[in-house]
Amino acid sequence: MGIFSSSKLPQPPLPDLAIHLSAPAQKVFQPDDIVTGHISFTSVVPIIPRVLEVSLFGQSLVWHRTSHSNSNNTTDYHHWRDKAPLFEVATNVLSSSNLSGKKEGALSCAYEPGQTYTFPFSFRFPAGTGNTRFGQYKNEADERWTVTPHDLPPTFLHTDKNGGTDNPNYAKIEYGVRVRLACPGVGVVQGKNMVDLTATAPLLFQPQNQSRIQQIVEGHSPTGGLIRHAKDFTFQSSLLSRPTTGQAASSATTTLSFRQSLRDRFSSHTPKLTFSTALHLPSHLTCGSEFRFRATFTVLSRSPTATHMPSPIVFRVLKLELLDFTFVRAPRDWEASTWRDGHHRGNKWEFWPPPNGHPFSGEGTKDRKGVEGVDEQEKEKEKEMDMGQSGEVWFTARIPGFTPPSFKSFAITRVYKVKVKLGVELAGKQFVLEAESHVA
């Protein structure tokens, strides 16, 4: 061989290997659903496969990259990666008993070129993970994530502003059916090595939100369904001594002159009212559904001269938001190069550390925050009240249907908060209450 001879293996002809799912591509699977379909392959040369393994799998993938400038005006990149298997069930469909193609034969016989062979498969989706992640992260006790078995999270993708999984800084939970063909002399050449031929068909998965499918019904919410957030206010005004409703109100002004407002502000005899306003926000929400929350007004105390309640009291939703928080973690990938793509030094085709491998000594954490508006159905309501009474009003909103459910997994966690800014207007003066509530 000459000095310029390549040591790379020649790429042998590859068979056509494909996965055909019985369900449509947009079907969303849930626990205990059955995934069915068949594998087909057509070879261009006679082959004698050893294994044709089909598996149903779930995994989470995290890739975070940081850049660091060197003294020689170059940039090095550090890569933080985590590939966490959630579960995998596999079966070898290569047997004469389940061969349903055009050609049948024993395992020791060659599969003829030009013939299409099909192999059916069937799997049941589990409800939870089948493994743990002890020893994989620096701080296993961090309650934002878990290292123990848990319910399967939904299909999920969170990226930076550039989007996609071809670039770093993404967190992904994926499910699918994978087929692997192990056959002597057949495979994908990677330098001096040959790896098994594989194909993957993605699946969509979402768990059943049994604890979240709770509709808040006015007057009788589920136990613990609403969380109270209260704030006390004080209102001083001579209007508290004047009737603002009924016949007496016809001769009484409902607004104050500038001079009277100054007297009210500095006089110790100005009628005073102390009241509490509270927001009652739901603790359980489900995407795509309406939810209800209420605002309350309660008189706590009043001076003897405060005899009349200015009416009406106006409750106004100034802002209503659904805040989403995605927490990700990944160990430092010490095998990765300092190039942008972070390929492994020993194998440029390898980008992920082996699952359940040796724990890394470093850890990178990336917290992300986004805001999604909630469609507001009603923004303003009025309430007539007498002095000494309490009152409440209800508001209705809707969670967007494309909102992924909250979950906690090995390296990715998604949680939500509902944030409300409420204005309470009393005799033209507005009092503002802001509250946030964690959503289970």
Write down the domain spans for the chain.
16-205, 226-327+359-439
Q: Flag whether pLDDT at 433 surpasses 80.
A: yes
Q: For 326, how many CA atoms within 13 A lie in the half-sphere containing its CB? A: 21
**16-205 topology per CATH:** Immunoglobulin-like (2.60.40)
Please give the share of the chain, as a percent, with pLDDT higher than 70.
72
**Structure confidence by residue, pLDDT tens digits, 1-18:** 455 455 677 888 888 899
Phi, psi values for residue 124, rounded to 5°? -110, 130
**Structure confidence by residue, pLDDT tens digits, 249-307:** 443 445 666 566 656 565 666 788 889 999 998 877 666 667 788 899 998 888 887 77
Domains 16-205 and 226-327+359-439 alike in fold: yes
Most confident listed range (83-87, 247-251, 314-318, 343-347): 83-87
Q: Flag whether pLDDT at 42 surpasses 50.
A: yes
Name the CATH superfamily housing domain 226-327+359-439.
Immunoglobulins (2.60.40.10)
Q: Flag whether pLDDT at 414 surpasses 60.
A: yes
In angstroms, the Cα distances linking 135 to 60, 91, 352, 358, 364 are 17, 29, 17, 8, 15
- What's residue 65's pLDDT? 86
Q: What is the mean pLDDT of residues 76-97?
A: 85
- What's residue 14's pLDDT? 86
- What's residue 19's pLDDT? 94
Looking at residue 151, the DSSP 8-state letter turns out to be B
Q: What share of residues in the chain are helix, strand, coil (percent, to 5)?
A: 5, 50, 50
If you average pLDDT over every residue of the chain, what do you get? 77
Q: Flag whether pLDDT at 113 surpasses 50.
A: yes
Token pair 């959503």 is found at: 439
Q: Flag whether pLDDT at 105 surpasses 50.
A: no
